């Protein structure tokens, strides 16, 4: 069973060698590895050409810069495997990741196979807070209606997608947008009849410590807030058509707890103009979303921050934000001391 691995690369000279080596040395042998160099202006392409000397089966395409989504979409066009996989060029994967994922397909053929994720910062490995929500137990042949925890698994790169399923549903990453995984991964989960969930860690999601930050590390950016809200709206429309009220409620809670909250979390130090613009967009989104059933289920501090923001009580919002960050710091310190 051939797996086509698509790796978009743009100015990742510092990380590309580790990424490619982790993919090319997989224990699973039947891989088609496609790298799309997205118009890199550093020496990423030169390093890729040297890697090809070491790994002759590595396929490299060079194109003008068009962004991550366009590069991934181009990679899909070149793919010939039964399953599609995506890897970001600053990340690395466990040597047995694809072997474990394909082995699960021997138990149950599935449209999607997903595997656990950890964060990588320098040499340090630590849990991914987002992915911990679903990394609890193995589930073979499940789906989103049965396993609501998959709502938290919105990244595209820790998965295998059946290529026929991808093509039938005409999935594509939205070009020119950030948070491009969300409006693809969640609608795909919604359509998938069978999902194999493997909680063991296979993918290592890098937190860059250099000056060159990844897109998802640039939270305090008005354009990214707008893109993320647009992504949520795409998913909302897809979920409404499902008719599954329990799933819709679970989705709404996740969006408030994680996605919307991340947009207001940095407003504590945001410029006044950004504060006003984001507050207006968040209010507009909430007004078109029935969140009343789930709001009271949010952690109390988050409820207070949302309420202060919605009622335009700036002083109260700043106070609740300060308390939130203090509590977060105490939890981190306490957790570290507890683990020593």
> Residue 11: is its pLDDT beyond 80?
yes
Q: How many CB atoms lie within 10 A of CB 7?
A: 27
Structure tokens at 241: 């058509």
When computed from its CA atoms, the radius of gyration of the chain, rounded to whole angstroms, is 20
**CATH class belonging to 3-216:** alpha beta
Among candidate residues 322, 183, 208, the one with its CA nearest the CA of residue 265: 322
SS3 153: coil
C-alpha to C-alpha distance for 318 and 282, rounded to whole angstroms: 17
Q: What is the pTM of this model?
A: 0.92
Comparing 310 with 47, which gets the higher pLDDT?
A: 47
Comparing 117 with 283, which gets the higher pLDDT?
A: 117
CATH 3.90.550.10 domain range(s) in the chain: 3-216
**Is 110 exposed, middle or buried, given 0-12, 13-18 or 19+ CB atoms closer than 10 A?**
buried
> Residue 212: is its pLDDT beyond 70?
no
Please give the average per-residue pLDDT across 209-223, as a whole number. Answer: 59
> Residue 157: is its pLDDT beyond 60?
yes
pLDDT digits (tens, 9 = 90+) for 113-147: 999 999 999 989 999 999 999 999 999 999 999 99
pLDDT digits (tens, 9 = 90+) for 80-104: 999 999 999 999 999 999 999 999 9
Cβ 64 vs Cβ 36: under 8 Å: no
> 274 pLDDT band (50/70/90 cuts)?
confident
What residues are paired with 6 via a beta bridge?
34, 86
> Residue 214: is its pLDDT beyond 70?
no
Structure tokens at 283: 């209010």
pLDDT digits (tens, 9 = 90+) for 167-180: 999 999 999 999 99
> Residue 31: is its pLDDT beyond 60?
yes
> Residue 338: is its pLDDT beyond 70?
no
User: For residue 219, what pLDDT is reported?
Assistant: 53
> Residue 217: is its pLDDT beyond 80?
no
Please give the average per-residue pLDDT across 195-207, as a whole number. Answer: 97
Please give the average per-residue pLDDT across 205-224, as a whole number. Answer: 68
C-alpha to C-alpha distance for 108 and 195, rounded to whole angstroms: 9
C-alpha to C-alpha distance for 231 and 94, rounded to whole angstroms: 30
User: For residue 275, what pLDDT is reported?
Assistant: 86
Cβ 80 vs Cβ 181: under 8 Å: no
Q: How many CB atoms lie within 10 A of CB 300?
A: 9
């Amino acid at each position: 069973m051939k797996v086509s691995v698509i790796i978009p690369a743009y100015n990742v000279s510092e990380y590309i060698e580790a990424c490619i080596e982790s993919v090319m040395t997989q224990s699973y042998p039947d891989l088609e590895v496609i790298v799309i160099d997205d118009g890199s202006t550093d020496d990423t392409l030169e390093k890729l050409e040297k890697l090809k000397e070491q790994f002759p089966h590595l396929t490299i395409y060079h194109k003008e810069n068009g962004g991550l989504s366009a590069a991934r979409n181009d990679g899909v066009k070149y793919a010939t495997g039964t399953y599609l996989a995506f890897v970001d060029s600053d990340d690395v994967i466990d040597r047995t990741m694809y072997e474990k994922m394909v082995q699960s397909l021997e138990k149950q053929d599935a449209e999607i196979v997903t595997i656990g994720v950890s964060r990588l910062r320098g040499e340090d490995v630590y849990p991914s807070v987002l992915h911990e929500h679903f990394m609890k137990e193995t589930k073979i042949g499940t789906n989103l209606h049965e396993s609501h925890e998959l709502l938290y698994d919105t990244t595209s790169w820790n998965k295998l997608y059946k290529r026929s399923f991808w093509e039938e549903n005409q999935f594509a990453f939205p070009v020119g947008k950030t948070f491009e995984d969300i409006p693809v991964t969640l609608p795909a989960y919604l359509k998938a009849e069978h999902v194999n969930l493997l909680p063991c860690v296979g993918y290592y999601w890098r937190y860059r410590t250099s000056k060159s930050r990844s897109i998802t590390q640039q939270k305090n950016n008005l354009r990214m807030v707008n893109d993320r809200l647009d992504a949520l709206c795409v998913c909302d429309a897809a979920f409404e058509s499902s008719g599954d009220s329990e799933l819709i409620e679970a989705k709404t809670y996740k969006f408030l707890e994680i996605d919307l909250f991340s947009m207001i979390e940095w407003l504590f130090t945001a410029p006044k103009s950004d504060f006003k613009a984001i507050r207006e967009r968040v209010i507009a989104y909430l007004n078109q979303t029935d969140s009343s059933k789930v709001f009271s289920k949010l952690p109390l501090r988050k409820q207070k921050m949302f309420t202060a923001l919605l009622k335009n009580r700036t002083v109260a919002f700043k106070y609740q934000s300060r308390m939130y960050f203090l509590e977060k710091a105490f939890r981190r310190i306490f957790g570290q001391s507890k683990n020593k």
